[in-house]
Amino acid sequence: MNVLHIPYGSPMIELCHALRLKGVEATACHFYENAYNFKPDQSLKLNQKSSTERERQIEKFLKDSMNKYDIFHFHFGETFFSDKRDLPILKAAGKKMVVHHHGSDIRLLSVAKKNNPYVRVKPEWTEEKIYKNLETLSKYIDHAIVQDYELEEYISNSYKHVHVIPHTIDTKQFKPVYPTPKQSPLIIHAPTMRDLKGTEYILHAVNALKQEGYSFQFELIEGYSYEETKDLLAKADIVIDQLRIGASGYISSEAMAYGKPVVCYIRDDLVSKYPKELPIVNANPSTICDVLRNLLQHPEKWSELGTRGRRYIENYHDASVVADQYMNIYKRL
């Protein structure tokens, strides 16, 4: 079984590593270099090419890949070409395909707002663009994957089969460092896009609590490489993820793997769909100040939350557990 993952994203890198441990020949290929210095198995570095050269290289890569791979695993709703003209070619060649949606590529504001007054979406992903993309993808692909139930609702009627599989975390790469009570704990927040993550509410809470006399350090992680971000996660005492989306992100999973208490907004109607052991401290833009204050007042809870988080990741996100779920889907294609 040879599987190609394209065209970008850090989740595919961990996933391919996990699949290879199970005997699957899986390759993570990024089409472009990235600011976070992710290290895929292969990079086409198309950002270094002219538009004509990019087109020519992608066409060659598609042809070569069709001779090498049995299964094509597309991430973020993208394929070899923006107009998806590769899909009928792959279909006609009898190639198996699966699409993996990660968030903004399917999050419909009109649907999300019904259960989430705080939600924001990326402006470039208009509903018209999302629907058009889903229509084309689902014409050729039957199986779609998302990482949580917040995303599932947006595509439940688009594909024949929708699978919910948690983020892949290689727990052996994350040595837990459980926080202990200290005079000035380190709180970190790592937004990719401030507006989508609710960063302004976190900054307001941080300033308000410092004015109240609470002693802590706060680090806003922006513009760091992936390895630098991981180093800071390992040093943190409390990690704040996202307050608007209504579901936990990749940072939540990695922070829990490091044994950290995690603050994130989980939509009320989705809480029961997570495993009951989920130790995330729930907070939204309206409650973040109170939630953070409570955590600072009870440092004895930090280690317990961190221990529960690490156990949760081992049970539900570990590469060996998650890889089996992907392999079962591949066998159904």
Query: 263 phi and psi, to 5 degrees?
Result: -110, 125
Distance CA 246, CA 264 (A): 8
Give the pLDDT score at 37.
80
DSSP state of 169: B
Can you state the percent helix, strand and coil of the chain, rounding each to 5? 45, 15, 40
The tens place of each residue's pLDDT in the chain, 333 residues long, gives 899 999 998 889 989 999 999 999 999 999 998 877 888 999 999 999 998 999 999 999 999 999 999 999 999 999 999 999 999 999 999 999 999 999 999 999 999 999 999 999 999 999 999 999 999 999 999 999 999 999 999 999 999 999 999 989 999 999 999 999 999 999 999 998 899 999 999 999 999 999 999 999 999 998 888 889 999 999 999 999 999 999 998 999 999 999 999 999 999 999 999 999 999 999 999 999 999 999 999 999 999 999 999 999 999 999 889 999 999 999 999
Give the pLDDT score at 46.
92
3-state DSSP assignment of residue 97: strand
pTM of the model: 0.93
- Domain 2-170+319-332, CATH homologous superfamily name and number: Glycogen Phosphorylase B; (3.40.50.2000)
Give the pLDDT score at 281.
98
Distances (CA, A) of 42 to 8, 33, 34, 45, 276: 10, 10, 13, 9, 38
Name the CATH architecture for the domain at 172-316.
Answer: 3-Layer(aba) Sandwich (3.40)
Within the chain, which residue ranges are assigned CATH 3.40.50.2000?
Answer: 2-170+319-332, 172-316
* Residues 264 and 280 sit within 8 Å (Cβ to Cβ): yes
